[in-house]
Structure 1
């Protein structure tokens, strides 16, 4: 399910709203502005112990000052609800599998609810509550009380305009109170979108199903290029042999038939899961930290820009949380990026330490093929054992409830049963002698670390209070899902890296399917079961490396064989290599690095795919019409700035190369999206002009080679861009086609009338950058218009921050769109232009700096 699943239900509803808005300008203003919160003056709030000050700057960013943690997190809940409650409410309906309860009898909503109920996100969150520390439970409870204090006696239409729209079609009688578990469940959505190699596991199976050739599948998963793209930690000594590269050791001719029905539709079925943070290989992040020996101030600098989905409003909410008197009774003094719906700061800094997060990409999911029997059992080591069943009730607004039977094995829920009537079929190779599938095929269970209760909520507050490397390690031990790289720096000069996460340990099984999680596993053989998890103390970590900086941008963490096995499926490291090269160039030139240097690197637009493909393109002989365009590439500086003609031509050629090379042999659901993996795949295939991937399998009498594919891709691109941008190539611009278009999750889709979309969706804006570029405004090469690629941005640097550990008030930040979730607020889009142009804003932190930036203050008064 995409974030736009409710578009269909709001189409008719939005028509009603259009009529209301058209009736009177005054009526429109009232309807739209009614939910705007009060952000100045005084208001008495039952539930507070003492008064709280909420100080906002000219961007509407709140800095909250309280006397104790209860009041601090109570006020954070209140402020989040003021600015972002519908977003919070939508998220909790998604994470608990209750979207149909919000939007009504819509197939997409019911499918989404079915998958989430099968996973049991809410059930796991409830189980986690008793594992959390009492302090964390207190913080979560105070936060929920603050949310509910804001909602008290507010009608839905007074909380958000979205309820006004929904209320004309479905019942929206009152807003359900916020529960602390609503916050905990949000961590499951985070974990799902940042889960690791699940897509690669399905791609391997799908590619094998199409080609029946494991060597061709291997071409799609080349080894990590550590010689050119260094890992995060570069000074390790291999302690064990490199892990199994993931090629099945089986006799292809003897593979059992029938597994295609087992994996039938799993890609589509799990595509029904909502992606609240984003999806695809554009989801990642850049982060790096530079030690004081290389900076102008002599103190560390830290940069972070998480690459997530593009939404309106943006995913992050900026805030500061400050105890008036910092001490044991009230230890918080922290600011940064928060998620509306969860207390604390997710990424940011306190008075002693700054931290950034990037997706580690560890393999935390495995698919298990299960041999099921009609009597409700499945095969385990030659014995039949019962499938576990439970019944879930999906409430549907305006319709009868739906009873859903969820079935699970030892490995996890049977995900193929959620949506059984699906078309896509893939085939995974299995060891010789595997049990024959039932007539309907094997079942597919999903093992995922996030489906086991954990203490990740504790980790958020531990990071907020961390003072040094030991504190970061302690917090990381709690940060079980999602698995994230942590880079950090302290005001006393330390820089460091820490890998957290609950990472499965897999046994080495010789012969047959690789047991390292790269392929779907045979569930009937317990040798393929997880053997526990990697101990926290064995996770990779580093402080103050000799080279004086650390870059973590989703690349491999260590050299092969160093430390525990985390995954084979890393991002291929082109962004990280570019960041390292830019930092090293400054160091080699003797130029001290500043916050401005860090921001400039964040906005670098050099395309790594150009180094790979451009030499071969320039060698092609083409006709004059195509040559007029290809001349752009000869003069192109390989940068993808919005005004670049070379950038739009190269991107169009790249999309056509991928389509012509792979579309004939890969199912559409796993087609190349164009990111780092495909850069490395094509780099290696270019060295093999007659590799079978170049051949078009649909032309039986012809065998195409590399140069034919490249030539035709260039001709295609010239023709497509002529139709899209005109006949004169010198007038083409990347920004004409590469645009960031934030879309509201509920009221932003094509089915919604124009006036409502224009209200809810900020105007599309031209941007530079692209996929696997440091300025990671990713696009999806699988998406095409009528006859040309669609370069609409699908993933973005969702925020950018640079923290100066020598002067925290000299730090800078910018958010995508703005801090408010209300389209009538000036803070709905007031950061979008600066974000698109690579600019940032001052980030006040100390009390004096916050006071100097103050625009308005709301005092929340305690009863009495």
Structure 2
């Protein structure tokens, strides 16, 4: 036991005293508060970022190392022979994330390259002379299974490659495009498929901006959504699409994937606040992991000047200089995923080493990648690319992948599937991140946004001199409107690569991207909903979140400001709102139905007095969630292919809301009940009965004793050591105990779960919460999902998880005097 304690505690960093850090111009001071959050104070930008790299390596190097192995397609090199790791490596090598990152290096401003290099130097100074077990306990555990050598030095490209993983997980409508094609294979009717992808309900839920706030765009973009896709039901094409889907599913999601990945962010004008200055709130909804995604950090130049302009605090990514979300002394900003359509599946007609393009052909290029496997043989991978992007349909070793015949008479001999994606073109997002760190005005934000190529985000901002605003950045493809098209050209369905009319026609000019400055209503709310009214501004996508979270936030802000002026506590209460829009839609109908059996009726009785709040101690919330699962399964799962069942998010809420007005719709019929045709009332009644019986087995006979938080838990898991195959003592060390939470999918407190998974467990959640008071920056608040440290033996590994689960936040001091008063540890880094 003594040996085990020494092993797990050995990597814990020194956080006080003095340490030499080569290359510094002067002393750098690192203070840490009660939760281990560092604030770094330096005299030059180079020293600041060198120290940030050092501190990041102190706290989270294994997380950084894991991320860079993933983003460079070298996971097998870290974990050894593992099918999932090899599959991930093959796909990421096919994408060429690191190759694109290398191309970005020369595009960046010299100051950005200097920051990246200084950060890398600081990381490497920390690693110098330390054996793996002294860096992270994960290396000691992995060393029991594979050979573990000294960690490779950090390279600035490692930081840039992380941006590709960020862009991948926040890439927009890729899933919806894939789902449309897959659904068509079993439904066989485009119009019926489109009923499962309804238009945004702008009569109910407002977009972010109105027409009056928008600049005029000159881009004429696609609006064709009613055409019939070309041969999408053919078995050969479906095989190619299934292969592409399987390949892409192999990519690890470092920030989260699927239902619930999104964010809330809003800003309120000083005219509506107690302080008379703006308030800004943000809580990005991402996958849950241990350690959490964010690294809380303060970066301060001792004297802010043009030579050393940084005085910023917020949430950083371990492995990348600067702060991604937060505030400086003049401006605060928040990010939510815009969800613009920046990916297209492209169907290629292949003939040996060319693809068909109009009346001619285009070449397929090839390169060979060598994947090293720790403890195993090297794996050679041939990567092929068409003019549209990498051929993802042949990335995995699956039977029949890449050899499906095309319909008779078609030019070429096989279908392949390429992925067109804006992030596979080099860009300047790293320039944008550091530019936002020192922004002081709307003009600064607009200039930075023009560099923020991927992922496309919504930026809300507020300034200490009283302004608020919104800016949409991103590299957004312009899609031509193809007349009389047999396939939609708006990016909602896979497109034919042999017809250049469907190719992207360039990108939306940054000056034409939606923005607003000091809107009259005094509020900007972004929660992944539509950005503008339909037909206004540049075409961004057809696939939005359906706006129920955004509308609830608007309603709560309207109510709060009608009764007075709002403060930081009001913003935090809104972030933790657990009211269910699903219940608003469905419960009134459920209560009109008769359940004869008094036992089966117990669940329905809970709904009669329910406040429709999905709090962790609510019995009705648990019952309603079980009803929702059964409704979706009965009405839709029987119509959809395996792996594409309803996940229960905002899209499915909108589908069901519309179908409630059609009680005899064929969608209600459960095809698994032979000889019986169900309507709405039969399905809803049966769902209530089944939910009562399911929860009886799961939570007990007394319905009043059920609790949503008993089945709806957040369980952050280590990305490498989270598996059940590990000894229990290791699993318990690296994986925090699950915590009960309230909220749910498409609720403001967005603790999402997948209704098709058979579990109510949280799949994505607010990865952090922050509220910034522009009238008194020291009055701001923050919390992160787990804790400041990436070391499982640290007291700060998961010390914020419990408070986070209860909706609590911590003071967030910013000024020099406040951070000094809050300091508990002090480390001086000397030249």
1:320 aligns with 2:298: yes
Query: 1 CA distance for matches of 2:412 and 2:267?
Result: 52
DSSP 3-state at the match of 1:624:
coil
Query: 1 CA distance for matches of 2:582 and 2:154?
Result: 47
Instruction: Select 2:813's aligned residue among 841, 844, 850.
Output: 844
TM-score (normalizing by structure 1): 0.93
DSSP 3-state at the match of 2:828:
strand
DSSP 3-state at the match of 2:827:
strand
Instruction: Select 2:676's aligned residue among 680, 702, 706.
Output: 702
Match of 2:685 in 1: 711
Instruction: Give how far 1:247 is off.
Output: 3.6
Match of 1:145 in 2: 121
1:525–1:45 distance in 2 versus 1, CA, 3 Å: same
1:243–1:532 distance in 2 versus 1, CA, 3 Å: closer
Instruction: Select 1:234's aligned residue among 202, 210, 213.
Output: 210
Instruction: Select 1:92's aligned residue among 65, 68, 81.
Output: 68
Match of 1:644 in 2: 618
In 2, are the aligned partners of 1:803 and 1:812 still within 8 Å (CA)? Answer: yes
Greater shift in the superposed pair: 176-185 or 397-406: 397-406
Instruction: Give how far 1:496 is off.
Output: 0.2
Query: 2 CA distance for matches of 1:255 and 1:740?
Result: 39
Instruction: Select 1:435's aligned residue among 404, 410, 422.
Output: 410
TM-score (normalizing by structure 2): 0.97
In 2, are the aligned partners of 1:53 and 1:65 still within 8 Å (CA)? Answer: yes
DSSP 3-state at the match of 1:827:
coil
Match of 1:742 in 2: 716
Query: 1 CA distance for matches of 2:213 and 2:432?
Result: 30
Unaligned runs of 5+ in 2: none
Greater shift in the superposed pair: 736-745 or 697-706: 697-706
Match of 1:395 in 2: 372
Instruction: Give how far 1:384 is off.
Output: 2.8
1:242–1:793 distance in 2 versus 1, CA, 3 Å: farther
Instruction: Give how far 1:95 is off.
Output: 0.1
Residues 61-117 of structure 1: per-residue CA shift (max 9 Å, x gap): 111000000000000000000000000000000000000011111111110000000
1:381 aligns with 2:358: yes
In 1, are the aligned partners of 2:67 and 2:162 still within 8 Å (CA)? Answer: yes
Match of 2:827 in 1: 858
Instruction: Give how far 1:246 is off.
Output: 5.4
Match of 1:67 in 2: 43
DSSP 3-state at the match of 2:378:
strand
1:757–1:422 distance in 2 versus 1, CA, 3 Å: farther
Instruction: Give how far 1:382 is off.
Output: 2.7
1:797 aligns with 2:770: no
DSSP 3-state at the match of 1:674:
coil
Query: 1 CA distance for matches of 2:605 and 2:220?
Result: 45
Residues 377-435 of structure 1: per-residue CA shift (max 9 Å, x gap): 2111132332111111101111121110001111100001012527999x9xx9x9993
In 2, are the aligned partners of 1:310 and 1:796 still within 8 Å (CA)? Answer: yes
Query: 2 CA distance for matches of 1:310 and 1:818?
Result: 12
1:762 aligns with 2:736: yes
Query: 2 CA distance for matches of 1:514 and 1:553?
Result: 27
DSSP 3-state at the match of 1:569:
coil
In 1, are the aligned partners of 2:356 and 2:411 still within 8 Å (CA)? Answer: no
1:822 aligns with 2:791: yes
DSSP 3-state at the match of 2:677:
coil
Residues 175-220 of structure 1: per-residue CA shift (max 9 Å, x gap): 1000000000000000000000000001111111111111111111
In 2, are the aligned partners of 1:769 and 1:775 still within 8 Å (CA)? Answer: yes
1:285 aligns with 2:263: yes
Instruction: Give how far 1:237 is off.
Output: 8.2
Instruction: Give how far 1:502 is off.
Output: 0.2
Match of 1:729 in 2: 703
Instruction: Select 1:618's aligned residue among 574, 591, 594.
Output: 591
Instruction: Select 2:474's aligned residue among 501, 504, 511.
Output: 501
1:414 aligns with 2:391: yes
Aligned pairs for 1:463-482 (under 5 A) are 463-482=436-455
In 2, are the aligned partners of 1:265 and 1:422 still within 8 Å (CA)? Answer: no
1:237–1:171 distance in 2 versus 1, CA, 3 Å: closer
Aligned pairs for 1:191-202 (under 5 A) are 191-202=167-178
1:129–1:254 distance in 2 versus 1, CA, 3 Å: closer
Residues 736-761 of structure 1: per-residue CA shift (max 9 Å, x gap): 10111111111122222211111111
Residues 432-473 of structure 1: per-residue CA shift (max 9 Å, x gap): 9993774xx510000000000000010010000100000000
Match of 2:55 in 1: 79
DSSP 3-state at the match of 1:497:
strand
Instruction: Give how far 1:696 is off.
Output: 2.3
Match of 2:419 in 1: 446
Instruction: Give how far 1:256 is off.
Output: 6.0
Instruction: Give how far 1:48 is off.
Output: 1.2
Instruction: Give how far 1:245 is off.
Output: 6.0
Q: How many residues align?
A: 826
Instruction: Give how far 1:698 is off.
Output: 3.7
Match of 1:13 in 2: none
DSSP 3-state at the match of 2:265:
strand
Instruction: Select 1:101's aligned residue among 77, 98, 114.
Output: 77
1:269 aligns with 2:244: no
Query: 2 CA distance for matches of 1:234 and 1:636?
Result: 35
1:310 aligns with 2:294: no
1:813 aligns with 2:788: no
Query: 2 CA distance for matches of 1:254 and 1:559?
Result: 31
Query: 1 CA distance for matches of 2:560 and 2:672?
Result: 51
DSSP 3-state at the match of 1:202:
helix
Unaligned runs of 5+ in 1: 1-24, 785-789
DSSP 3-state at the match of 2:212:
coil
Instruction: Select 2:97's aligned residue among 121, 131, 146.
Output: 121
Instruction: Give how far 1:242 is off.
Output: 11
1:693–1:434 distance in 2 versus 1, CA, 3 Å: farther
Instruction: Give how far 1:33 is off.
Output: 0.3
Instruction: Give how far 1:704 is off.
Output: 2.0
Name the Cα RMSD after superposition: 2.0
Instruction: Select 2:20's aligned residue among 44, 53, 67.
Output: 44
Match of 2:663 in 1: 689
In 2, are the aligned partners of 1:212 and 1:252 still within 8 Å (CA)? Answer: no
Query: 1 CA distance for matches of 2:640 and 2:220?
Result: 29
In 2, are the aligned partners of 1:644 and 1:733 still within 8 Å (CA)? Answer: yes
In 2, are the aligned partners of 1:506 and 1:529 still within 8 Å (CA)? Answer: yes
Instruction: Give how far 1:777 is off.
Output: 0.6
Residues 6-36 of structure 1: per-residue CA shift (max 9 Å, x gap): xxxxxxxxxxxxxxxxxxx211111010000
Query: 1 CA distance for matches of 2:792 and 2:234?
Result: 56
Query: 1 CA distance for matches of 2:71 and 2:633?
Result: 35
Query: 1 CA distance for matches of 2:227 and 2:778?
Result: 58
1:352 aligns with 2:330: yes
Instruction: Give how far 1:254 is off.
Output: 11
Aligned pairs for 1:118-267 (under 5 A) are 118-236=94-212, 247-250=225-228, 258-267=236-245
Instruction: Give how far 1:235 is off.
Output: 4.2
Match of 1:22 in 2: none
Match of 1:4 in 2: none
In 2, are the aligned partners of 1:213 and 1:252 still within 8 Å (CA)? Answer: no
Residues 652-695 of structure 1: per-residue CA shift (max 9 Å, x gap): 10011111111111123222111111100111111112222212
In 1, are the aligned partners of 2:291 and 2:789 still within 8 Å (CA)? Answer: yes
In 1, are the aligned partners of 2:274 and 2:565 still within 8 Å (CA)? Answer: yes
Query: 2 CA distance for matches of 1:722 and 1:281?
Result: 27
Query: 2 CA distance for matches of 1:666 and 1:434?
Result: 30
DSSP 3-state at the match of 2:638:
coil
Instruction: Select 1:488's aligned residue among 461, 472, 478.
Output: 461
Match of 2:537 in 1: 563
1:349–1:294 distance in 2 versus 1, CA, 3 Å: same
